[in-house]
Amino acid sequence: MNYIGIDLGGTNVAAGVVTEKGELLGKASVPTPRGAEAVADAIALAARQAAGATGVPLSGIKAIGLTAPGSIDPETGVALRVVNMDLENVPLCDMVSRRLDLPALLENDANAAALGEYVAGAGWGHKSLVAVTLGTGVGAGAVLDGKLFTGFNYAGMEAGHTVIRRGGRQCNCGRKGCWETYASATGLILSTREAMALHPESALWQLAPASDRVSGRTAFDAAQTGDPTAREVVENYITDLACGLANLINLFQPEVLCIGGGVSAQGEALLAPVRTILDREEFTRSSPRRTQVRTARLGNDAGIIGAALLGEYR
């Protein structure tokens, strides 16, 4: 049997038909409309289009899995608050289930992405995976002993909101010094801007002629040209990133830890120095059985694939 996975985002509703082994057979996408009923319509439309494009009839689909950014209740299938979409307390599973006559399941985006990577990406063939996404924030999800881990209230794995520098940068969660204020793309951009303000001579100004042109790539690009200010920004970024990764490894000891999101596009320029720090800081650094640290493999498809397979791994 096949599944349909839906990745509900602020811009597009992406749908995919996925085998029970996590193979993506085909995709479709429609723009995200405003309003709960319209969103449910768009989900149904995208699902039908993906099924049509793949040549799989809806009667051949076992269930549909939905993923959305924000807080959700997987038990009731209600989207409690979806980021950037003005959806509050929407019984999304019921609404989609009624439109497609299929069982529907709901999970948040970081957890679904972790499940996708576990089944069909960086964690394939392994017992456990922690997936970290470096984007606007730092998202994380975990599959432990073959099951999606979410905590008793489905709110676990907020790794971005663990403090690594007590009293440090103000986080929008209310705490100070959260990992995501340093290790997210947003944190990297802030650090780049702070360094530019202090160093008018830096090559960072050539790459980003105005402070509002800074991206998560700016410091990495300028560091490659040898700019000392950019190098310091990158080194600090990597030290903070590795600090939080070592914390996660010392706690979870997953067989694989994968890193996705925009910043992970730096590949080995990011991972090689991260591994050097982990070789010093991991509690198990002298053990033969250590967590493998890799980049994520599925990109934006992780959410679709993970959503599709919720029924199998929850």
151: exposed, middle or buried (Cβ count in 10 Å: 0-12, 13-18, 19+): exposed
d(CA 123, CA 212): 37
Q: For 246, list phi and psi in degrees, rounded to 5.
A: -60, -40
255: exposed, middle or buried (Cβ count in 10 Å: 0-12, 13-18, 19+): middle
Does residue 131 touch a copy of itself according to CB under 8 A? no
Stretch that binds a copy of itself, among 20-28, 140-148, 202-210, 293-301 (CB under 8 A): 140-148
Task: Tell me which of 13, 159, 183, 233 binds a copy of itself, using CB under 8 A.
Answer: 159
Does residue 101 touch a copy of itself according to CB under 8 A? no
Token pair in block for residue 67: 């993923």
Window 192-231: residues binding a copy of itself (CB under 8 A): none
| Strand (E) or helix (H) holding 228 | helix 228-252
Task: Tell me which of 21, 98, 147, 213 binds a copy of itself, using CB under 8 A.
Answer: 147
Q: Which CB atom, from 174 or from 226, has the smaller least distance to a copy of itself?
A: 174
Does residue 3 touch a copy of itself according to CB under 8 A? no
Token pair in block for residue 28: 């479709």
Does residue 83 touch a copy of itself according to CB under 8 A? no
* Pairing outcome for strands 61-68 and 2-8: parallel
Stretch that binds a copy of itself, among 37-45, 96-104, 153-161, 264-272 (CB under 8 A): 153-161
* Pairing outcome for strands 70-73 and 87-90: unpaired
Closest to 239 measured CA to CA, from 204, 274, 200, 189: 274
Q: Residues in contact with a copy of itself, total (CB under 8 A)?
A: 46
Q: Are 278 and 293 in contact (CB under 8 A)?
A: yes
Q: Are 130 and 142 in contact (CB under 8 A)?
A: yes
Stretch that binds a copy of itself, among 51-59, 82-90, 193-201, 237-245 (CB under 8 A): 237-245
| Strand (E) or helix (H) holding 26 | strand 24-31
Contact track, a copy of itself, 254-293, x by CB under 8 A: xx------------------------xx-xxx-x-xxx--
| Single-letter amino acid code for the residue at 16 | G
Q: Are 142 and 254 in contact (CB under 8 A)?
A: yes
Does residue 163 touch a copy of itself according to CB under 8 A? yes
d(CA 19, CA 27): 13
Q: For 218, list phi and psi in degrees, rounded to 5.
A: -50, -50
Q: Which CB atom, from 6 or from 249, has the smaller least distance to a copy of itself?
A: 249
Task: Tell me which of 12, 19, 76, 247 binds a copy of itself, using CB under 8 A.
Answer: 247
Tell me how far, at minimum, the Cβ of 216 lies from a copy of itself, in Å: 21
Does residue 89 touch a copy of itself according to CB under 8 A? no
Task: Tell me which of 157, 196, 238, 308 binds a copy of itself, using CB under 8 A.
Answer: 157
Task: Tell me which of 101, 145, 201, 212 binds a copy of itself, using CB under 8 A.
Answer: 145
Does residue 181 touch a copy of itself according to CB under 8 A? no
Tell me how far, at minimum, the Cβ of 54 lies from a copy of itself, in Å: 35
Q: Could you list the residues that contact a copy of itself (CB under 8 A)?
A: 126-128, 144-145, 147, 149-159, 161-166, 173-175, 239-240, 243, 246-247, 250-255, 280-281, 283-285, 287, 289-291
